[in-house]
Each structure stands twice: as structure tokens, then as C-alpha cells.
Amino acid sequence: MSVGAIRAGRAMVEIFADSSMLARGLASAQSKMARFAQTIRRLGTTQVVLGVGMAAPIAAAIRQYAQLEQRINTVRSLTGASVAQMRGLTQAVRQIGMETGRPFTEIADGMGELSRAGVRLQSLGKATRVIADFSRAAGVEMSRAANIGVEILTQFGLEMEHLPRVADVLQEMANATVSTVEDLSDGFRYAGQTAKTFGLSLEQAGAAIAYLQQSGLSSTTAGTALNQMLLQMVQNLGKVEGAVGGLRGADGEFLPFAQILEKLQRHIADMPGPERLQWLNEMFDVRGMRGAEALLKNVEAWMALTNQANGSMGASKRKATEMSKAFIVSFEQMRNGLVDFSYTIGEVLDADLRSAFQTLAGLATGLGPFIKANADAVRAVTKFAAALTVSGATFFTVGVSLQLLAFAFEGFVKAGLAAYAPINGLLGLGKMLGVVFASAAAKVTRAGAAITASITGFYAAVSRPIDASVAAVAALGTSFVSMSRTVHGAVGRTVAS
């Protein structure tokens, strides 16, 4: 081999060697680039997850802030409060919520109901706290508790500073009888105004309604009965006074209701049952006689309830404090702590968010002229989107149909296999029995062949000497016949000659 050839081969080797090194380098660079890209992707994914995780509670906090602020703004519109006063009311709502466990939004709704009822701005925080305790004790929403209190204050012409008194009387009567605060409120709705006009105090009317309900009358029936009893007593005042004596004092006003009931009770005490009912019906009508009969049956029980109502100061607060020891209240207070924290976040972000929302609103408004100027393009995009949606829905429907078909076919195959399994088992059993029977038949055939061969051999062995004897006898007979013929011929020839 020449020196030139050797050098050429060496060059080829070096070239290929260098090429393989280059390939390995490129592969290594590609692998490193892929790992780097994967690292960057993981970093981006982690950042997105962290960002969403951080944004979610902030979004929830902003939502809580917006809900409470909306209700506080309603109160502001009703009271005309200044920004500073609204901050004070907001702080009062948050403080009441932390102390009582009532939701902030519910407290703000109760404050709104009190504002509609005309509670002065200076008393709004204190009245809201009263309603918060009342609603907790009575087991009703704060807005409902506010409505109940305001209605009864209006019926008796009382100022808002008597709101705690109303709450205490209702709660004390609910504690002492089968009535609930809602029941008593229904009774007052029918009888409160008339009771006030007749001269009954809030406590006397509350005790009468509670006693009638304790006697078996429903809330509305009790209120109606008391109302009709008082109205009929006024309408038939002459008859009643003629029967029991004067019911009015020197000033022309009605005597205290307790004295009137005692006079009526003494008058009917000795009457037989039918006569008493007839007299009550004549005096109070059929709608009022039920209330009159129940009250006059036990005036002392009504008076005892009235005394209890007179001493009910603080009943609502005490009941609310007792109920606040429940586990659910601790949970609600913890929840309110989180909401309060959320509200603080909302306060911090308020200005920035308002600015951002206004900017977005301006951008959205600015899109209007652009859309009008490019109406054809918007229509085209809309049509394309509609076509894409229809196409996607079609493909989706076809895909679902194919999936259902595949599912049905799979069920058919499984059912066929399930049905074939016992048949296949029977076939296998028949095949096995066939093999057994064939094997037995082969054995029987082989045994029969052996027996046949044995019989054939035996017959052959036995028949050979018999055949020989028969042959010998036959040969002997033939010889005798031939001999007989010979003798006979000879005899015949002899005779003839």
C-alpha cells in the first residue's frame, strides 16, 4: 500500500472522528437547552400558581369589603351621614359583629331598617347593638328584629330610646309562656294600637297577648280576641257599666285595666256556664268573648305576667349573653375576625382599585367608537365565532355519539361473552365426554376384536380334526360306492352269461 493511500485513509478517519464529536456536542447542547427550558417552564408554572394562590384570598377580601360597603352606603343615603360619620358607623358594625358573632352584612341590614324607621344618626350605633342582642335572643334575623321593635314602638307611640324596653318585654313574655317573639309580634299587630288607645301599657298588652296564647289561642286569634274585647267594651260601654258599675274615673278616662277585669270577673263569678257565655257574647261579640272568657277566668295569672313584664329590664341582653356561650357563636366570631381582616385589605386597596376600575371603564367606553368604525370586521369575527361554535358542537356531538356507540358495542361484546361462557362450558364438557366415550369405545372394540380372534382360533383348532374325519368318511363312502358299482356290474354280467 502506498504512503498516499495511508494518508488518505487517515484523513477520512479524522474527518469522521471530528464529525462524531460534533454530533455528540450538538446532542449535549440540545439536552442542556431542553433541561433549561423545562426549568424555566416549571418556574413559570410555580409563579402562576403562587400568584393565583395569593390573588384568590385578596379577591375574596375585596368581595367582602364591597358587600359591606354597599350596605353602609344604603345607611348613608338614608341618614345623610358624612364620610367621617360613615366611618364611625362602619366601625360600630364591625365591633358589634366581633362581639355578637352576627354577620357584618346582617348587622348593616338591621342598621338600615332602623334608619328607615327614623332612628337618629347619633343613636343608630346603640340601637343597632340592642337589635343585635334582641335578634340573637329571639332567634330572628336582625332586619326582622328591627321591624318588630319599630312596629311596636309605633303602635304605642314610643320613642326609639324605648327600643330596649320593647325587646325586654317581648323576650320576658316569650321566656315565661309558650309564645315566641314572632307570635307576640303577630298578636301586637292586631291589638297593639287598640290596647294603647284603651289605656293599656306595653307590659299589660304584652302580658294579655302572652296569656291568651298560653290559654290555647293562636297568635293572630289572641290578638284579634283582645282587640275585639276592647272595642266591644267601648261600643257597649253603657250596658257594661250598667251591669258592673262605672268603668271610668272622675277625669273620664278608663280605670286601670286590672280594675276593669276584676269588676267583670266578680259580675260573672256566680253565673251558670250558659248564662255566662250568653252575657259575654252580648257584651263582647263572638269574636271578643273568647279573649274575655280566658282573661276573666284567671285575672290573677294575667296580673302576675304583667308584674313579670314590668320587671323585664335586661331580659333580652341576658338571653343573648347566655346564648353567646354556644360553640356556634365562637365559630361565628372567628369567621367575623376573618371578614374583618378582609375588610381591612379592602380598605387598603380601595383607592387603587377604584382608579383601576375607572381606567378599565374608560377603556371599555372607548371601544365603542372603534367597534362602530369596524362594524364589518366585528360582524365577520362574530360569524366566524358562530361557525366555529357550531362546528365544535357538531364534532362534540359526533364524538359523544361514537363514544356511546363504542360503549354499546363493548356492552354487546361483554354480554355475548357472558352468554357464550356457559355454552362454551357445555361444549367443553361434551367434548370431554366424547373423548371419554371414544376411548371407551376403542377399548371395547379392541376387546371385541380380541374375543373374536380368540373364538376364531378356537374354532379353527376344533374344526381341523372334524374336517379331516369328515373327509376320511367321505373318501371311505366313495370307495364303498365305487366298490358296490364294481360288484354289481360283475354280478350282472355273471347273471347275463
Top-confidence residue, 11 or 290: 290
Q: What is the pLDDT of residues 34-69, one digit of tens each?
A: 777 677 767 767 766 666 666 566 777 678 778 888
Average pLDDT over residues 74-81: 88
Nearest to 211 by CA among 199, 196, 226: 226
Query: Which residues, 6 or more positions from 353, have their beta carbon under 8 angstroms from its beta carbon?
Result: 62
Interhelix angle for 83-100 vs 327-373, to 10°?
140
Q: What is the pLDDT of residues 238-278, one digit of tens each?
A: 888 888 888 888 888 888 999 999 999 998 988 898 999 99
Top-confidence residue, 466 or 152: 152
Q: Which of 3-12, 91-100, 124-133 has the lowest mean pLDDT?
A: 3-12
pLDDT at 339 over 70: yes
Print the SS3 string covering the chain. Answer: CCHHHHHHHHHHHHHHHHHHHHHHHHHHHHHHHHHHHHHHHHHHHHHHHHHHHHHHHHHHHHHHHHHHHHHHHHHHHHHCCCHHHHHHHHHHHHHHHHHHCCCHHHHHHHHHHHHHCCCCHHHHHHHHHHHHHHHHHHCCCHHHHHHHHHHHHHHCCCCHHHHHHHHHHHHHHHHHCCCCHHHHHHHHHHHHHHHHHHCCCHHHHHHHHHHHHHCCCCHHHHHHHHHHHHHHHHHCHHHHHHHHCCCECCCCCECCHHHHHHHHHHHHCCCCHHHHHHHHHHHHHHHHHHHHHHHHHCHHHHHHHHHHHHCCCCHHHHHHHHHCCCHHHHHHHHHHHHHHHHHHHHHHHHHHHHHHHHHHHHHHHHHHHHHHHCHHHHHHHHHHHHHHHHHHHHHHHHHHHHHHHHHHHHHHHHHHHHHHHHHHHHHHHHHHHHHHHHHHHHHHHHHHHHHHHHHHHHHHHHHHHHHHHHHHHHHHHHHHHHHHHHHHHHHHHHHHC
φ/ψ region of 118 (left if φ > 0, alpha if ψ in -120 to 50, else beta) reads left
Distance from chain centroid for Cα 288: 47
Q: Which of 143-157, 275-289, 351-365 has the lowest mean pLDDT?
A: 351-365
Top-confidence residue, 308 or 323: 308
pLDDT of residue 355: 78
pLDDT of residue 470: 38
pLDDT at 20 over 50: yes
Query: Which residues, 6 or more positions from 219, have their beta carbon under 8 angstroms from its beta carbon?
Result: 179, 182, 183, 184, 186, 187, 209, 213
Show the CA angle centred on residue 426, arms to residues 422 and 429, nearest 5°.
Answer: 135
Q: What is the pLDDT of residues 382-405, one digit of tens each?
A: 788 777 777 777 766 766 666 666
Whole-number average pLDDT of the chain: 78
Nearest to 316 by CA among 442, 134, 155: 134
pLDDT at 15 over 70: no
pLDDT at 149 over 90: yes
pLDDT at 479 over 70: no
pLDDT at 427 over 70: no
